[in-house]
Amino acid sequence: MAKKQFKAESKRLLELMIDSIYTNKDIFLREMISNASDAEDKLCYMALTDDTIGMSRDDFYIRIDIDKENRLLTVSDNGVGMSKEELESNLGTIARSGSLKFRDGMEKKEDIDIIGQFGVGFYSAFMVSDKVTVMSKRYDSQEAWCWTSSGVDGYQVSECEKDGHGTSVVMHIKEDTEDDNFGQYLEQYTIQTLVRRYSDYIRYPIKLLMKRTRRVEGENDEKPRYEDYTEDVTLNSMVPIWQRNKGEVPKEDYDSFYSEKFLRPDKPLRVITMNAEGLVSFRALLYVPGEVPYDYYTTEYKRGLQLYSSGVLIMDSCEELLPEHFRFVKGVVDTQDVSLNISRETLQKSRQVKVIAGNIEKRIRSELKKMMDEDRENYEKFFRCFGLQLKYGILASYGAASEDLKDLLMYHSSTQGGLVTLREYVSRMPEDQKYIYYASGDDTARIDRLPQTEVIKQRGMEMLYLTDSVDEFVIQTLREYDNRQFKSVNDDDGLVGDEEKEKVKQKNEKHKQLLDFVGKALEGKIKEARISGQLVSQPVCLTAEGGISFEMEKYLKTVARDEESAGQIKAQRILQLNPEHEVFAKLEAAVNEDPDRAEKLCRVLYGQACLMADLPLEDPAEFSQLVSSLIF
Ligand code: ADP
C-alpha cells in the first residue's frame, strides 16, 4: 500500500518537535494517557444522553502493556475510537486537533473537557519510538483501522482486527544510544513512576499487568522457591486532586496540575482550595496565574471554571462561576448539587450555581487581600499582570463592584518609592491634608517632569502616579476613599492653604492686564491664562479644566469612533504662569515695550508648556522659527 505523506507543514513541525520542543522525553506517556482519557471523556459524555452506548463512568479504563522482548509499549483505551477518516485527519495533520473539532461540532461547545487542545501531543510518541501503530475502532462501528508511521516519512492506513471499541497506541521503543536510555520505558518501575508523577489525577484507572516474583516457602525440608506471577495493578490514585485534602497534596502537584490541565507555562502565584458544605456543597481548586496568558485580550480567551458534577466533567468553562473582574482565575469546581445533564439555560438560572459563584467571588477577593498583606512581592507581580482587569472591574456597571475592588488597587507613590494601596496612603496623611493627591501621565518619570508636581514633592507630600490610561476614570468612579477626595495636582486650589490662596488671588488681580494679553495672544489655544501658586523652577505649565484631563483626552481619542469625534474631544487648557520666574518679568516688560515680541514670547511659552505636558506641538517648524527669532 502506498504511503501517504504528512502535510508539508506537519512534516517540518514534526521534525522540529521531535528535536526540540519536548526536551523532556518522559512526557510522551502523559500525552498518550491524556489522549486516552479524552477519548473516554467523550464517550462517557455521549453515554449520558444515548442509552444505546450502554456504558457508565465505571466501565472505562486505560491499559498499559509492556512487551520487553519486542520493545513494545502500548497504551489502550475503550473510549470513542476513530474511523479511518478520523485517523487520517487527526493523526495525519499535526496542527489539526481533533479534540477541538469535536468541541466545535457540538451544540454546547463548552460542555466537555478536553485536555489536549493543541494538536502536537500525539507526535511526542516519536521522541521515544521509531515506529508507532495506532489501532482504532469507533464505538459505533464494526470496522477497525490501523495507522502506522515511522516518523517523518509519512504514514499508512489499513484495515485490521480489533476486539472492542477504542484505541491502542503501540510504540516501538527506539534502541538505546550513548545519550539516551530508551529502554527505561520498557521497565514497569519507570512507567509506574511516570504515571504517578504526571497522570495520577486521571479519573479512569490506568492499569498495568505487573510481573512480580514471590517467595514460596517449601514444605517440610524443601528449600523455599521463587515463582513469577502477574498482577493487574491500577497505577494512578484516580482521586482528582481537588478531592484531596490540602495538607496531603505537595505544592508541586498543584502546580503541575495547573500547567497540564490549563496548558500554561507559568507558575501560579496562588493556589486556592475550597471545600464548602452547607446550602450547596462543592469543592473548588482555583489558581491565580503568574503571567498574562498570550490570548488574554482576545476573544479566544474563555472566562470560566471547569464544572464537574460528581467527578464527571460537564462544562469546560462555565462563565457563570466567575465574575468578569476575576476572569484571569483558572480552576475547577466539583459539586453534587448540579445535575449531570444541566443545560446552559437552566445553568444560568440555577440557584446552586449562583451560590457557588458568590462564594467563589468572595474567596478570591479575600485571598488576594491576604496575598497583598502577607506576600507583597507576589501581589505586586499579580497586580502588574492583572491590575488593569481590576480597574476595568471598577468601571464596569457604573462602579457596582468598586466597593469590593478598591482595596485591591495599587499605585506608585512619590514618597514610598514603590506601589502603595489607598489604605496605606490614607493612613499616612497628615491631619491637615484634605485630599489624596495624584498626577497622571504615561509613566512615573514623565509625571516627575511635570512642573506642577514640583511643589508637592518640595513640600514632602505624597502623590500617587496614575500611569494606566483608565486610571483617571477609575478615580472619577471612586470619587473618594475613606471620606477623602481625590485631587489632581493640576488643581492648585487643593494644594495651597487659604492664606496662600488669597495671595495667588491678589496676584491674579494685580497682573490682570498681562493675563488678558496672554489670553488674547493664545486665543483658540487656551481657555485662560492664570497666575499659579504651584510652580517652582519652571516659568509655565499647562493644566486641564472641566472634567476632561489630558490623559483622558488621549485615551478618549484612541477609542473615538472617527476623526471628527476624536477632534471634538478636548480638555480645556489653562496656561499657568510662574510670577517668580525671570521670564515672567521679561514678558511683563515686553507687553509694555514691544507687544510683537511679547506675543511671540506667549507662543513660545505655550509651546514649552505643551511639551512639558507631553502634548504634541501643533506646528513644530513654526515653533522652531519662533525660538530662533527670539534668540536674535
Ligand atoms: P490533541 O490531543 O492535543 O488534540 P493529539 O496530537 O494528541 O492532539 O491528537 C490528535 C487527535 O487525535 C486528538 O484530538 C483526537 O481527536 C485524536 N486522538 C488521539 N489519541 C486518541 C485516542 N486514544 N482515542 C481517540 N482519538 C484520539
User: 309-337: per-residue pLDDT in tens?
Assistant: 766 666 778 999 999 999 999 999 999 88
Cβ count near 162 (within 10 Å): 18
3-state secondary structure of 492: helix
Q: Is 166 in the pocket of ligand 1 (CB under 6 A)?
A: no
Q: Given ligand 1 and candidates 18, 30, 35, which is best to mutate, with the most ligand atoms within 8 Å of its CB?
A: 35
Nearest CA to ligand 1 atom 13: 98
Q: Which CATH number fits domain 8-234: 3.30.470.20, 3.40.50.2300, 3.30.565.10, 3.90.1150.10?
A: 3.30.565.10
User: Could you tell me the sign of the dihedral formed by the alpha carbons of 499, 503, 508, 510, in that order?
Assistant: positive
The owner of cell 497628615 is 430
User: How far, in Å, CA of 35 to CA of 621, rounded?
Assistant: 65
State residue 111's pLDDT score. Answer: 40
State residue 336's pLDDT score. Answer: 82
Say what percent of the chain tops pLDDT 90. Answer: 57
User: How far, in Å, CA of 1 to CA of 454, rounded?
Assistant: 82
Burial 513-548 (b: 16+ CB within 10 A, else e): ebbebbbebbeebbbebbbbbbbeebbbbbbbeeeb
Q: Given ligand 1 and candidates 33, 75, 97, which is best to mutate, with the most ligand atoms within 8 Å of its CB?
A: 97
The owner of cell 511643589 is 455
Distance 98 CA to ligand 1 centre (A): 6
Is the pLDDT reported for residue 156 higher than 60?
Answer: yes
Cβ count near 348 (within 10 Å): 11
Distance 170 CA to ligand 1 centre (A): 14
Query: Is 158 within 8 Å of 201 (Cβ atoms)?
Result: no
State residue 22's pLDDT score. Answer: 52
Residue ranges matching CATH 3.30.565.10 in the chain: 8-234
| Of 314 and 297, more confident | 297
Is the pLDDT reported for residue 158 higher than 80?
Answer: yes
3-state secondary structure of 192: helix
Distance 35 CA to ligand 1 centre (A): 5
- Confidence class of residue 107 from pLDDT cuts 50, 70 and 90? very low
User: How far, in Å, CA of 329 to CA of 423, rounded?
Assistant: 25
User: How far, in Å, CA of 19 to CA of 47, rounded?
Assistant: 40
Q: Given ligand 1 and candidates 80, 122, 127, which is best to mutate, with the most ligand atoms within 8 Å of its CB?
A: 122
Q: Is 13 in the pocket of ligand 1 (CB under 6 A)?
A: no
User: How far, in Å, CA of 595 to CA of 419, rounded?
Assistant: 49
Is the pLDDT reported for residue 89 higher than 80?
Answer: yes
* Residue 91: Cβ-neighbour burial (10 angstroms; 0-12, 13-18, 19+): buried
DSSP 8-state secondary structure symbol assigned to residue 523:
B
Q: Is 121 in the pocket of ligand 1 (CB under 6 A)?
A: yes
Distance 244 CA to ligand 1 centre (A): 29
In three-state form (DSSP H/G/I as H, E/B as E, the rest C), the secondary structure along 354-404 is HHHHHHHHHHHHHHHHHHHHHCHHHHHHHHHHHHHHHHHHHHHHHHCCHHH
509: Cβ–Cβ under 8 A, 6 or more apart, which residues? none
Over range 570-579, report the average pLDDT.
92
User: How far, in Å, CA of 92 to CA of 75, rounded?
Assistant: 19
Q: Is 90 in the pocket of ligand 1 (CB under 6 A)?
A: yes
Distance 122 CA to ligand 1 centre (A): 6
Q: Given ligand 1 and candidates 34, 38, 126, 135, which is best to mutate, with the most ligand atoms within 8 Å of its CB?
A: 38
Pick from 348, 339, 331: which is nearest to 284 by CA?
331
Tell me: the pLDDT tens digits for 486-505? 998 887 666 667 788 888 89
What top-level class would CATH report for the domain 500-631?
Answer: mainly alpha
Helices (H) and strands (E) in the chain, counts: 22, 22
DSSP3 helix / strand / coil % (the chain, rounded to 5)? 45, 20, 35
Distance of CA 46 to the CA centre of its chain: 32
Q: Is 151 in the pocket of ligand 1 (CB under 6 A)?
A: no
Over range 18-35, report the average pLDDT.
75
Cβ count near 51 (within 10 Å): 7
Nearest CA to ligand 1 atom 12: 90
Read off the C-alpha cell for 225.
522457591
User: How far, in Å, CA of 316 to CA of 300, rounded?
Assistant: 14
In three-state form (DSSP H/G/I as H, E/B as E, the rest C), the secondary structure along 621-632 is HHHHHHHHHHHC
User: How far, in Å, CA of 448 to CA of 445, rounded?
Assistant: 5
Nearest CA to ligand 1 atom 4: 97
Tell me: the pLDDT tens digits for 582-618? 999 999 999 999 999 999 999 999 999 999 988 889 8
State residue 109's pLDDT score. Answer: 42
Residue ranges matching CATH 1.20.120.790 in the chain: 500-631
What top-level class would CATH report for the domain 409-489?
Answer: alpha beta
Over range 551-558, report the average pLDDT.
84
Nearest CA to ligand 1 atom 18: 35
The ligand 1 atom at the shortest distance from the C-alpha of residue 80 is 25
Q: Is 87 in the pocket of ligand 1 (CB under 6 A)?
A: no
| CATH T-level assignment (fold) for domain 241-379 | Ribosomal Protein S5; domain 2 (3.30.230)
Is the pLDDT reported for residue 120 higher than 60?
Answer: no
The ligand 1 atom at the shortest distance from the C-alpha of residue 97 is 4
Cβ count near 396 (within 10 Å): 16
Q: Is 92 in the pocket of ligand 1 (CB under 6 A)?
A: no
CA-based radius of gyration for the chain: 35
Is the pLDDT reported for residue 129 higher than 90?
Answer: yes
User: How far, in Å, CA of 459 to CA of 495, rounded?
Assistant: 10
Read off the C-alpha cell for 30.
502523559
Is the pLDDT reported for residue 623 higher than 70?
Answer: yes
Query: Is 521 within 8 Å of 599 (Cβ atoms)?
Result: yes
Q: Is 290 in the pocket of ligand 1 (CB under 6 A)?
A: no
Nearest CA to ligand 1 atom 9: 122
Nearest CA to ligand 1 atom 19: 35
User: How far, in Å, CA of 376 to CA of 392, rounded?
Assistant: 22
The ligand 1 atom at the shortest distance from the C-alpha of residue 116 is 3
- Confidence class of residue 13 from pLDDT cuts 50, 70 and 90? low
Q: Is 35 in the pocket of ligand 1 (CB under 6 A)?
A: yes
Over range 34-62, report the average pLDDT.
91
Beta bridge partners of 64: 75, 208
Residue ranges matching CATH 3.40.50.11260 in the chain: 409-489
Distance 90 CA to ligand 1 centre (A): 6
Over range 230-240, report the average pLDDT.
89
| Of 443 and 100, more confident | 443
Tell me: the pLDDT tens digits for 401-460? 999 999 999 999 999 989 999 999 999 999 888 899 999 999 999 999 998 898 888 888
- Confidence class of residue 201 from pLDDT cuts 50, 70 and 90? confident
3-state secondary structure of 432: coil
Q: Is 489 in the pocket of ligand 1 (CB under 6 A)?
A: no
Least confident of 293-307, 412-426, 553-567: 553-567
Over range 134-147, report the average pLDDT.
96
Identity of the amino acid at 628: S
Nearest CA to ligand 1 atom 23: 36
- Long-range Cβ contacts of 9-17 (<8 Å, 24+ apart): 9/94, 9/95, 10/92, 10/93, 10/94, 10/95, 11/152, 13/94, 13/95, 13/120, 14/94, 14/123, 14/126, 14/151, 14/152, 15/152, 17/94, 17/120, 17/123, 17/124
Q: Is 79 in the pocket of ligand 1 (CB under 6 A)?
A: yes
Distance 178 CA to ligand 1 centre (A): 32
Q: Is 490 in the pocket of ligand 1 (CB under 6 A)?
A: no
Residue ranges matching CATH 3.30.230.80 in the chain: 241-379
* H-helix segments, 451-525: 454-458, 471-478, 492-495, 498-510, 512-521
Say what percent of the chain tops pLDDT 70. Answer: 89
The ligand 1 atom at the shortest distance from the C-alpha of residue 42 is 25
Phi-psi category of 406—alpha, beta or left, where left has phi over 0 and alpha has psi -120 to 50? alpha
DSSP 8-state secondary structure symbol assigned to residue 586:
H
Q: Is 122 in the pocket of ligand 1 (CB under 6 A)?
A: yes
Read off the C-alpha cell for 178.
550513548
Q: Is 82 in the pocket of ligand 1 (CB under 6 A)?
A: yes
Is the pLDDT reported for residue 346 higher than 80?
Answer: no
Mean pLDDT score across all residues of the chain = 87
Query: Is 133 within 8 Å of 148 (Cβ atoms)?
Result: yes
CA diameter of the chain = 131
Q: Is 118 in the pocket of ligand 1 (CB under 6 A)?
A: yes
User: How far, in Å, CA of 467 to CA of 443, rounded?
Assistant: 5
User: How far, in Å, CA of 317 to CA of 428, rounded?
Assistant: 43
Q: Is 294 in the pocket of ligand 1 (CB under 6 A)?
A: no
Pick from 95, 122, 120, 94: which is nearest to 33 by CA?
122
Over range 230-251, report the average pLDDT.
89
Burial 121-134 (b: 16+ CB within 10 A, else e): bbbbbbbbbebbbb
Distance 339 CA to ligand 1 centre (A): 28
